[in-house]
Amino acid sequence: MAHKKELRIGLIGTGLMARTHTNGYKRSGDFFPELEYRPVLKTVCARTEEKVKAFAEQWGFESYETDWKAVIARDDIDAVDICTPNDMHADIAIAAAEAGKMVLCEKPLARSVAEAQPMVDAIKKAGVANTVFYNYRRIPAVTLIKQIVDSGKLGKIFHYRANFLQDWTISPELPQGGEALWRLDAEAAGSGVTGDLLAHCIDSAMWLNGVIKDVSAVTETFIKERVHQGTGEVQKVTIDDACIFHCHFENGALGVFEATRYARGHKALNTLEINGEHASLRWDLHDMNYLEMYDHADDAIVRGWKRILITDSDQPYMDKWWIPGTSIGYEHSFVHQVADFLKSLETGEPCEPSFENALMTQKVCEAVINSANSKSWKDTGLV
């Protein structure tokens, strides 16, 4: 390991995404030994000292901080990883870029386009390496979809449909805001399911099928008031609990998207389907190691949907893992993104989605919210 270049990480946040990112840093060198860079867990930051100290000890960070500005001020930090609620992304990212640090950020990029654009500008001005963790791109089956679509095998694409369904906010007794529930607070999150769930679907869709031109959306907030965890007061709920939108892609395809946290029985149903002139593809997170395909070129007597197990070494990323027939999981997508980021430092190529690319998803999300609020079609501004 002595010959490896160190990438000294300062992680800000100790929640779920902080755990997934840290696991990516810890495992990337084990399974991608050819990489020139080795992540070093220098420091982790959170406001509560007891919590951040415990996180540092559990995950093997060398130190901890309770002020994110202290992380950025340190000379022994090369890259700042932002795993905070969305309302903190912009301040941290801009300050880190201005200090010459590389910046990695959990999705979505920000709460709004107005917040996201200065982040992109700061990154460009500083010329620092950057990436945003839209991790579903790096699930091998989804990466294989990208390869198949880019090969032209589907022909002209007519339809793209996606959904992301959960059920964890149905209870009216669930409070909003504060630790663990900031996603229910528009001040912290920016939006509800649009920025949290649909942002994933939109990123995947534009990576696989190109730019979304315009959208027509409807949203609903089913529970109008909740107790705020921070104040103890009953407050109006201003996030979108559910969102449905349809759209036009630049390539002429039609898209249909749905996300909700009120689909009883669904914990994280995340699916996509693409219908082309010659073939169709579909994928389900619950069955993430399989890709389903219909190929009209097959002989008529055997033509039909088939399930392809994605575990062979000639399929994306799988040469780094186990033997054919044995599966990987959700956490591996973050290992893949860390490995791709480290590789990008060697090649000088961007690690997509970059901040600039993630701004495109932000613009679609904002167009969706604006469309729902105005009950009209909205251009995304991407074409």
- 176 in the same domain as 89: no
Residues 127 and 149 in one domain: no
Same domain, residue pair 148 and 125: no
Reference 12, options 56, 50, 68; nearest CA is 68
**One domain for residues 131 and 246:** no
Q: What CATH number should be reported for the domain holding residue 62? A: 3.40.50.720
Q: Report whether 93 contacts 82 (CB < 8 A).
A: yes
Tokens in use for 119? 């982040």
The 10s digit of each residue's pLDDT in 361-373 is 999 999 999 999 9
pLDDT tens digit sequence for 177-226: 988 899 999 999 999 999 999 999 999 999 999 999 999 999 999 999 99
For the chain, the domain total comes to 2
| Nearest in space to 316 (alpha carbons), one of 90, 63, 49, 138 | 138
Q: What does the pLDDT look like over 110-155, one tens digit per residue?
A: 999 999 999 999 999 999 999 999 999 999 999 999 999 999 999 9
Q: Are residues 21 and 132 in the same domain?
A: yes
Closest listed residue to residue 37, CA positions, set 332, 316, 351 = 351
Q: What's the mean pLDDT in 306-310?
A: 98
Please state whether beta strands 102-106 and 130-133 pair in parallel, antiparallel, or not at all (unpaired): parallel
**Cα–Cα distance measured from residue 150 to residue 158, given in angstroms and rounded to the nearest whole number:** 15
Whichever domain contains 242, its CATH number is: 3.30.360.10
Residues 103 and 211 in one domain: no
The single-letter code of the amino acid at 230 is: G
Q: Round to the nearest angstrom and report the end-to-end CA distance of the chain.
A: 47
Judgement on whether residues 132 and 148 belong to the same structural domain of the protein: no
Sequence-separated (6 or more) residues with CB below 8 Å from residue 372: 217, 218, 219, 240, 243, 245
Say if CB 30 and CB 55 are below 8 A apart.
no
Judge if the upstream peptide bond of residue 172 is cis by omega within 30 degrees of 0: no
User: Each residue of 74-101: pLDDT tens digit?
Assistant: 999 999 999 999 999 999 999 999 999 9
Looking at 136, 156, 172, the residue that finishes a domain is 136
Q: Name the residue range of residue 144's domain.
A: 140-379
Same domain, 9 and 132: yes
Residues 149 and 50 in one domain: no
- β strands within 134-178, DSSP E: 157-165
Judge if 327 and 188 occupy the same domain.
Answer: yes
Q: Is the pLDDT of residue 1 over 70?
A: no
What confidence tens digit (pLDDT) does each residue in 154-167 have? 999 999 999 999 99
pTM assigned to the model? 0.97
Whether residue 220 sits in one domain with residue 131: no
Q: Among 136, 153, 181, which residue terminates a domain?
A: 136
Last residue of a domain, which of 96, 112, 136?
A: 136
